[in-house]
Structure 1
């Protein structure tokens, strides 16, 4: 469960994409606990409605960002439903289907959700936030974007694009009061991990190579999302923050010592 301060986001409206599971769901719950009115979006409407029953004054806007035009439509619907959007959390993403290196099959499907969707939602909402002179955008990246540890080249590339988008939007809209950051998780035990945690010894192996000695959980990421969305991070923008328990740091130390 999130441990973030109650009322840190009171009076603000937050749109969370990919809010039906994993880090997206945890972020939605943490934002709600911090006082924000949450607009939940994702493909699984039934799951979104079930989560919404446990939140305060939520809005549910189902959306499939794989569909062309869905990102822009979602941003406009969120503005209509909430009157304003103070916080955007881009959590929607897929790791599969993956494209084989050198082949185009399945590549467009991954690019659509991991890049086109967040690009369109963030672009439209950044402009709306800038008109009001304030706002915060937090996108989900991955340590795979900068460390070369993912076996999926296409997935890592989409997250690298999210990092570039984050920095560029931060530079463009910072003078108009909009902060833009990203969170780069390491391994997190969620459904998104594709059942890796069920492989005997896998999580123990990851924990053994992590400075904090354990794997990540969705709430570990969600609390950082809330921090970046709140005024506690008022002087933080253009950053991609690793939240991996020291996994990539430890891997680097191991490589240097080998």
Structure 2
């Protein structure tokens, strides 16, 4: 995609998992990538180094999205690197799932936090990172974004599947409301806003799939394409959405689950 060669992207939560794959894919297409991280400095630097070894351009920017000054910290570093140039692409990828209030529960095979054991503090933490942060990061990014820019939010298939991750699903449902409304608001500037909703993807956040006997086979059986998602599967979709080929797509939610839970399994 040669048209991306002169563009700069901010990818939040890009030190590992889906965010890392997105950063690497955009860099491979010629985009200069700001690799955001919260606490995983070593992983973020490894992402930058991997991109640079492959001939791409990247730099790391730190901001702990739990902090009140996170957006200021993030954009102070970003604007320093931009040196007056515009931002062209924003990918709101950073997210966390709730941790259990009772550590003993976490040790149980197949355990997923739900309603009964989510503390108020953990609920607030998840909302702060998954909803509040992308809202205010987007708000701040718009003053730097060039007309014709691209915003992509990363949601989850759990918004349409009755998975036990209730607080997480609620945050992703809130995130999905951003695209159609912002797309309408920003259309006059030629900025597109879309959402990608991965299914169960093989990342650190979903390491329980690998650790729980039978989980991978069970999830694969629920998926039309017969396997877990991979970070590169999602990265390719994001790369398309930020390209000129996707200029006429905005305000949309794209399911990127490999056809998870389309219908009951055939007997």
Q: TM-score, normalised by structure 2?
A: 0.86
1:41 and 2:36 equivalent? yes
Change beyond 3 A, Cα 1:175–1:76: farther
Partner of 1:71: 71
Q: Which moved more, 1:90-99 or 1:157-166?
A: 90-99
Contact 1:209 1:247 in 2 (8 A): yes
Structure-2 separation of matches of 1:185 and 1:123: 24
Partner of 2:248: 235
Change beyond 3 A, Cα 1:72–1:97: farther
1:153 and 2:161 equivalent? no
Q: Which moved more, 1:42-51 or 1:63-72?
A: 63-72
1:140 and 2:154 equivalent? yes
Partner of 1:192: 205
Contact 1:126 1:178 in 2 (8 A): no
Map 1:21-100 to 2 at 5 A.
21-43=16-38, 44-55=40-51, 56-82=56-82, 83-97=85-99
**1:106 aligned counterpart, secondary structure:** helix
Name structure 2 gaps, 5 residues minimum.
Answer: 102-113
Q: TM-score, normalised by structure 1?
A: 0.89
In the alignment of these two chains, the number of paired residues is: 246
Once superposed, what is the RMSD of the aligned Cα atoms? 1.9
Partner of 2:126: 110
| CA drift at 1:8 | 4.8
Q: Which runs of 4+ in 1 moved over 6 A?
A: none
Partner of 2:10: 15
**1:54 aligned counterpart, secondary structure:** helix
Contact 1:93 1:114 in 2 (8 A): yes
Map 1:217-228 to 2 at 5 A.
217-228=230-241
Structure-1 separation of matches of 2:76 and 2:241: 23
